[in-house]
């Protein structure tokens, strides 16, 4: 609950408010109508506030035998175990309840990370050991670094960490490779994304087709000049 006595749920990230449910009033949180008694049917949500304590709780009505759990994942999303769409995942999107994060001058509201599988041409800058970072931490490290175009989140034993790469780093797409997150504008405008096999020259996108075609044309032209 709010540390200043306010009747709301708050998610913190590194000493800053990351997400808030809004104030509880009329049986629901202002910015989180999904956690209300209306439309839920088998759930009963309640907020208790008195001189001794403040807390939010819910119970299951009727003959339902399974109890839904709400969990906070590594990206800051609160998800229900029964499949309810997650909420509380803000990243740099400003959905209900999200507290606007200050973005660096090099980023804009359309910048998003997209998952790809493959291999980077060189090793990136690693943050591991005592950092114990989450997936959201890794995304923030890359997003706030104007030269970063991709990042990876990894688990090493009981520790977690990140690896980030600059936009100048080459990448070979391969379904058997690592899971790497790329800024969408890096993927859309970079000619460094290559096929892993000659038979995959199409690269599954038009900009890669033109890039591969130019390389083949140059090789054929050079061979003709030599003869």
Single out the residue of 91, 88, 134 nearest to residue 109, CA to CA. Answer: 91
Domains: count for the chain: 2
Residues 70 and 125 in one domain: no
Examine residue 185 and state whether it is found in any structural domain, yes or no. Answer: yes
Going from the C-alpha of 140 to that of each of 12, 94, 119, the distances in angstroms are: 15, 15, 22
Q: What is the pLDDT of residues 91-128, one digit of tens each?
A: 544 455 666 667 788 888 788 899 999 999 999 999 87
pTM of full prediction above 0.75: no
- In angstroms, the CA 114 to CA 116 distance is 7
**Domain assignment of residue 154, given as a range:** 113-198
How far does Cα 14 stand from its chain's mean position?
Answer: 17
Examine residue 214 and state whether it is found in any structural domain, yes or no. Answer: no
Examine residue 125 and state whether it is found in any structural domain, yes or no. Answer: yes
Examine residue 213 and state whether it is found in any structural domain, yes or no. Answer: no
Q: 214: alpha, beta or left, given left = phi > 0 and alpha = psi -120 to 50? A: alpha
Q: What is the DSSP letter of 132?
A: -
Alpha-carbon torsion, ordered 23, 26, 32, 33, to 10 deg: -170
Residues 87 and 129 in one domain: no
Q: What is the pLDDT of residues 177-221, one digit of tens each?
A: 999 999 887 776 554 455 443 333 334 443 444 444 444 334 433
Residues 6 and 54 in one domain: yes
């Amino acid at each position: 609950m709010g540390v200043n006595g306010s009747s709301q749920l708050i998610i913190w990230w590194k000493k800053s408010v990351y997400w808030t449910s809004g104030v509880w009033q009329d049986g629901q949180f202002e910015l989180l109508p999904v956690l209300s008694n209306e439309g839920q049917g088998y759930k009963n949500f309640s907020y208790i506030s008195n001189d001794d304590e403040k807390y939010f709780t819910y119970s299951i009505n009727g003959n339902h035998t399974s109890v839904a759990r709400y969990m906070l994942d590594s990206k800051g999303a609160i998800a229900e175990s029964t499949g309810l769409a997650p909420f509380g995942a803000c990243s740099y999107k400003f959905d209900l309840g999200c507290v606007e994060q200050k973005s660096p001058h090099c980023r804009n509201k359309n910048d998003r990370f997209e998952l790809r599988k493959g291999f980077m041409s060189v090793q990136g800058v690693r943050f591991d050991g005592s950092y114990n970072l989450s997936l959201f931490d890794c995304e923030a490290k890359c997003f706030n670094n104007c030269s970063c175009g991709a990042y990876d989140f990894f688990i090493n034993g009981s520790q977690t960490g990140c690896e980030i790469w600059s936009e100048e780093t080459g990448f070979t797409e391969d379904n058997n490779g690592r899971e790497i997150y790329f800024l969408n504008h890096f993927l859309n405008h970079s000619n460094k994304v290559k096929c892993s096999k000659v038979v995959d020259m199409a690269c599954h996108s038009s900009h890669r087709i033109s890039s591969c075609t130019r390389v083949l044309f140059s090789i054929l032209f050079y061979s003709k000049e030599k003869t």
